[in-house]
């Protein structure tokens, strides 16, 4: 129960509240062009599983960003809330929504071969290229 504080998020305007049962604090940074376009930079995403409860669902809009996943945001303030895999129903959510989660650690970078040259992180992480990701996740696509 003591972890519940770290597993609750609000959008900027407060219309949407999110409660996540289990967050993996080891998060992934995605450099793909969809994430760059969506957020203006790489996306820092936590794996949140399927045990997620939303309050204010009527304010959430979902955009089908690919054949296998959609991206959700608050229709009132624009806060990016999640990407959701259609096949598994699992949610990934931005790290910044859960800043008090214990043990946050950047452990993986996706689409490392698509990362623009104008930034780089000094964090030591594993990396996966576009080809490696499609090979690894083909069962979820």
**Minimal distance, residue 102 CB to Zn ion, in Å:** 25
CA 78 to chain centre: 15
Which tokens is 47 given?
A: 């794996």
Minimum CB distance to Zn ion smaller for 63 or for 102:
63
Minimum CB distance to Zn ion smaller for 46 or for 74:
74
Minimum CB distance to Zn ion smaller for 23 or for 74:
74
Where along the sequence are the contacts to Zn ion (CB under 5 A)? 11, 13, 15, 30, 32, 35, 74, 76-77
What span, in angstroms and rounded, lies between the C-alpha atoms of 55 and 50?
Answer: 15
Minimum CB distance to Zn ion smaller for 6 or for 56:
56
Locate the DSSP E strands across the chain.
8-10, 17-20, 24-30, 43-49, 52-55, 60-63, 69-74, 80-85, 91-94, 105-110, 126-128
**Minimal distance, residue 118 CB to Zn ion, in Å:** 17
The stretches of 64-137 forming alpha helices (DSSP H) are: 130-137
**Minimal distance, residue 117 CB to Zn ion, in Å:** 17
**Minimal distance, residue 69 CB to Zn ion, in Å:** 9
């Amino acid at each position: 129960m003591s972890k519940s504080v770290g597993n609750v998020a609000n959008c900027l305007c407060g219309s949407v509240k999110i409660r996540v049962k289990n967050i993996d604090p080891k998060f992934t940074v995605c450099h793909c062009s969809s994430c760059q376009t969506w957020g203006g930079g790489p996306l820092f995403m936590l794996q949140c599983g399927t045990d997620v409860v939303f309050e204010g669902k009527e304010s959430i809009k979902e955009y089908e960003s690919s054949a296998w996943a959609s991206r959700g945001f608050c229709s009132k303030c624009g806060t990016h809330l999640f990407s959701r895999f259609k096949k598994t129903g699992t949610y990934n959510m931005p790290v910044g929504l859960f800043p008090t989660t214990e043990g946050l650690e950047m452990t993986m970078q996706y689409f490392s071969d698509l990362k623009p040259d104008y930034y780089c992180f000094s964090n030591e992480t594993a990396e996966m290229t576009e080809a490696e990701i499609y090979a690894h996740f083909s069962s979820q696509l």
